[in-house]
Amino acid sequence: MSDNKPALLILAAGMGSRYGGLKQLDGIGPCGETIMDYSVFDAIRAGFGKIVFIIRKNFREEFEKRAKEVYGSYYSSMSFVEQELDLLPNGFIPPETRIKPWGTGHAVLVAENEIKTPFAAINADDFYGSSSFQILYDFLSIVQNKKGNYCMISFSAANTLSPSGTVSRGICNVDKEGMLISVQETHKICRENDGIFGERPSEGRISIKEETPVSMNMWGFTPDIFLSGAGLFSEFLKKNIENEKAEFYIPDVVDSLLKRGEVNCKVLPTREKWFGVTYKEDKEIAVSCIKINTEAGRYPSPLFK
């Protein structure tokens, strides 16, 4: 794989507290494949080069051993970066009570030394679909040596809900040219009898339209995000270093840079239907969806032969 190709950053350091275990390695496919395996397969098929996994130190050995066994010849083009609580700018010390990682925005920043090209960032436990990766790759292939040219794959809000509980999504405001105006992390989103609703700290309960474009953390970035994001992270820590639950999210980074006029972000809709394993109860649905895709010939079985 060429070093000049767009890279793929997979965020796999989450604790899985709502799921009840290490969901990144939970088998979903007919031969025990994980959702992450399908993302790796789709990314390689689309043309991505280096793949970087953001993980935690306490499960690195297990994670890396499995990656080497499953991905075979592709393993040499992969790297593993630990997202630990003490990986902070000079002058900041994490509180002793902190357990959770600092969030998806921080996860992106810790990959700085491993990525020198435009890159995609995704969650390990979300299934995005093959065409989503191709759309993302095509965009990133034309922004080499450019700065501040970001993109986001968007899904309709109605297609990203979990029947097992509430979810968090980045709710997007998009202009007529398909450029992102703003994105706000919104929590406790679920369908109720009279529509879809979520919550924001500053606004309380809000109504969300079915077709509202949302972020599922499938982003495309140019490497300048490492420098600009680091500054925003320091600002975040000044306000939240003692808050053991505060997290630094990717949508917050993008939204801040958009407001400052430092970047632009193209919203690229996908027709793919998302599914994931936020909750243990979601697994049955994920298994069924993968089975349908496999039987339709979209994926081989086993995935990596």
pLDDT digits (tens, 9 = 90+) for 109-126: 999 999 999 999 999 989
CATH number of the domain residue 157 falls in: 3.90.550.10
Question: Does residue 160 fall inside a structural domain?
Answer: yes
Question: Three-state SS for 145?
Answer: coil
Burial code (b: 16+ CB inside 10 Å, e: under 16) for 68-80 equals: eebbeebeebbee
Q: How many CB atoms lie within 10 A of CB 140?
A: 26
% the chain with pLDDT above 70 = 96
Q: What is the mean pLDDT of the segment spanning 221-234?
A: 96
Q: What is the mean pLDDT of the segment spanning 266-289?
A: 88
Kindly report which listed range (63-77, 150-164, 225-239, 274-288) carries the lowest average pLDDT score.
274-288
pLDDT at residue 229 greater than cutoff 50: yes
The residues, ordered by sequence, that sit 6+ positions from 284 with a Cβ below 8 Å of its Cβ are none
pLDDT at residue 21 greater than cutoff 90: no
Question: Does residue 21 fall inside a structural domain?
Answer: yes
Q: How confident is the model at residue 23 (pLDDT cuts 50, 70, 90)?
A: low
Q: Which pLDDT score is estimated for 22?
A: 55
Q: How confident is the model at residue 17 (pLDDT cuts 50, 70, 90)?
A: very low
Question: Does residue 300 fall inside a structural domain?
Answer: no
pLDDT at residue 218 greater than cutoff 80: yes
Q: Which pLDDT score is estimated for 25?
A: 75
Residue 40's Cα: distance from chain center in Å?
Answer: 13
Q: How many CB atoms lie within 10 A of CB 246?
A: 16
Angle between helices 250-259 and 225-240 (to 10 degrees): 110
pLDDT at residue 24 greater than cutoff 90: no
Question: Does residue 302 fall inside a structural domain?
Answer: no
Question: Three-state SS for 73?
Answer: helix
Question: Does residue 2 fall inside a structural domain?
Answer: no
By residue range, what is the domain housing residue 28?
A: 7-295
- Distance (Å, rounded) from C-alpha 240 to C-alpha 242? 5
Q: What is the mean pLDDT of the segment spanning 258-282?
A: 89
Average pLDDT, the chain: 91
Domain total of the chain: 1
Q: What is the mean pLDDT of the segment spanning 79-108?
A: 92
Residue 13's Cα: distance from chain center in Å?
Answer: 11
pLDDT tens readout for residues 37-92? 999 999 999 999 999 999 999 889 989 999 999 998 899 899 999 999 999 999 89
Question: Does residue 243 fall inside a structural domain?
Answer: yes
Question: Does residue 304 fall inside a structural domain?
Answer: no
Q: How confident is the model at residue 149 (pLDDT cuts 50, 70, 90)?
A: very high
Q: Which pLDDT score is estimated for 18?
A: 40
Question: Does residue 237 fall inside a structural domain?
Answer: yes
pTM of the model: 0.90
